[in-house]
Amino acid sequence: MIRKANISDIPQLAEIYRQLHIIHCGIRNDYYKMPEDNFFDKDMEKLLKTEGITVLVSEQNSEIAGYALIFFIEKGEPVNHNFKKCHIEQLAVDEKYRRNGIGTELITYIKKLAADNNCQSVELGVWCENHNAVEFYSEMGFAPRTYKMEIKI
């Protein structure tokens, strides 16, 4: 079942967020570091209270199996057509629930929510080095739109 997160979900959300961050640290330890343990609880509480941000959870057997943090973006400028998109800022599945369809369930729900909110697209960012995530998102129908490139100095 997918539902909006609430404050009582913070301990479980924070643990899944920590697991996600460990993956990011392993991929880009030059970029990410592990913060103090209470960071994940505090940051998740702040995110849940931020207007315009929605945290969705996949609940399995009264336990949070995964979550997605999303928000909507609307643009219309002199050089762009008006458009609305749904942005996935974070998507994470608890390590004990991975490869059980939780991510697919969240993406499917987000696509429907985006359509119901008149969005033209759903977008996200993913590290090129995160091969598992790139493969998953590709299987879900996501395709590269831009490349963000860097040169290390």
pLDDT digits 0-9 by tens, 59-74:
999 999 999 999 999 9
Q: Return the pLDDT at 40.
A: 98
Q: Which amino acid is at 118?
A: N
Q: Return the pLDDT at 74.
A: 94
% of residues, the chain, pLDDT over 90: 92
SS3 label, residue 57: strand
Q: How far is CA 2 from the centre of its chain?
A: 14
Ranges under pLDDT 70 in the chain: none
Q: Return the pLDDT at 77.
A: 81
